[in-house]
Amino acid sequence: MSYSVPRAVVEAFYEAHGSRNAERIAAYVDDDVEWSVYGPVEVMQVCGLWRGKAAVIDRWARAIPKVIESSRFERERFLIDGDQSAVFGRVTSKHRPSGRIISHRCAHFITWRADKVMTFRVLNDSLDAAEQFIGRRIDLSADAQEAASDTVAL
Amino acid sequence: MDKKVAVLSAEPQPCARSKSHADLRAAFDVFFEAYAARDAERVAPFLHDDVVWTVSGPIEVLPFCGVHRGKADVLALIGRKVPAVLRVFSCVAEAIVVDGDQVAMLTRLSARRPADGRVISYRVANFFRFVEGKIIENLSLLDSFDAVEQVVGHPLTQPTLAEDGSLVPAISDLVSL
């Protein structure tokens, strides 16, 4: 591997990402980007797969503002290695439809090419996040009893 | 089992491919092979005595979630607690990022439930921190909604029937995009 993304580029990308401004984010996105946010899209409409720069711009310009009013990301881990970077942290957002504050852990894994994001993958603590999106706990009590009886002693 | 583990610099060296980076990557590859196989005996040499291993997720359904402190607890987690719920048969690394004394990893894990043989598969992110060549901290982040749905074997959210007979999502305050 010969290309290494400069730390300054990754930092600048995250400044743009934090701004939630589609044009600023677009400046760091490759034309052929693949942008994946894992999680239940029927509950968390920030999740899904967007292919290509135009789709990512549309995500930030149109889709996200309908669901999220504001957000901030607190980084706890930040790694860069050649053409990859990874962060771990907590995202705190205001859910526009309900006004609720939503806060959950998440991780980003990015592959870079020529200082642009080629793949962006987001892993959320998606059950915790989904419960906050819907505004109530998902009742797992019956499943918990079954899980306890399913556990095999070793 | 005695394994050679790299002694690492405490200071991160971003973007610089140093010897310590190569050493950590090499050591991590050996660790990953043992960890992917959930082989506690081979994992043991890579764990610091004071390791803290945190797994996000609902402990009532995934009893291996929570905070596990100390080498003995973490080895029990890998060797007994996880296999009691899920027998991992595949752990594929989709990304491994090494920087200073830290390693981040994104994997897709596939496992079989011993209770009924059902196969489940979900993504996990791990953020490891090393000290003196051993793992002192791991933060595991699961795609927990996906994992729990597969473990319990049914959807976690259900649509309901409206008076006109149409299906209404369980979640009433979502915005269609």
Tally of domains in chain B: 1
- On the question of pLDDT at B162 being above 60, the answer is no
Which residues in chain A touch residue B58, judged by CB atoms under 8 angstroms apart? 127, 140
A134:B80 CB<8 A: no
What confidence tens digit (pLDDT) does each residue in A3-57 have? Answer: 999 999 999 999 999 999 999 999 999 999 999 999 999 889 899 999 999 999 9
Nearest chain A alpha carbon to B103: A79
In 3D space, the residue among A65, A70, A6, A56 whose CA is nearest the CA of residue A27 turns out to be A56
- Kindly list the domain boundaries of chain A, sorted by start residue: 7-150
CA distance A151 to B114: 8
Distance from CA of A109 to the nearest CA of B (A): 7
Q: Which CATH number is B74's domain given?
A: 3.10.450.50
B26 touches chain A (CB under 8 A): no
More confident residue, B15 or A16: A16
A147:B145 CB<8 A: no
pLDDT of residue B170: 53
Domain that holds residue B44: 19-168
A105:B141 CB<8 A: yes
From the CB of residue A72, how many other CB atoms can be counted at a distance below 10 Å? 13
* In-domain check, residue B36: yes
B109 touches chain A (CB under 8 A): no
pLDDT of residue B156: 86
Taken in order A39, A40, A43, A48, is the CA torsion positive or negative?
Answer: positive
For the segment B137-159, the average pLDDT, to the nearest whole number, is 88
* In-domain check, residue B143: yes
Assembly ipTM: 0.92
A112-121, A130-139, B90-99: least confident range = A130-139
Give the domain A7-150 fold.
Nuclear Transport Factor 2; Chain: A, (3.10.450)
Element (H, E) at A9: helix A7-19
pTM: 0.87
A105:B102 CB<8 A: no
What confidence tens digit (pLDDT) does each residue in A65-97 have? Answer: 999 999 999 999 999 999 999 999 999 999 999
Q: Which residue has the tokens 């720069």?
A: A53
* In-domain check, residue B11: no
pLDDT of residue B15: 42
3-state secondary structure chain B: CCCCCCCCCCCCCCCCCCHHHHHHHHHHHHHHHHHHCCCHHHHHHHEEEEEEEEECCCCCCCCCCEEEECHHHHHHHHHHHHHHHCEEEEEEEEEEEEECCEEEEEEEEEEECCCCCCEEEEEEEEEEEEECCEEEEEEEEECHHHHHHHHHCCCCCCCEECCCCCEECCCCCCCCC
* In-domain check, residue B7: no
Please, what is the average pLDDT of chain A?
A: 93
**Two tokens, residue B94:** 């989709």
* In-domain check, residue B6: no
Backbone dihedral angles phi then psi of residue A126, each to the nearest 5 degrees = -75, -25
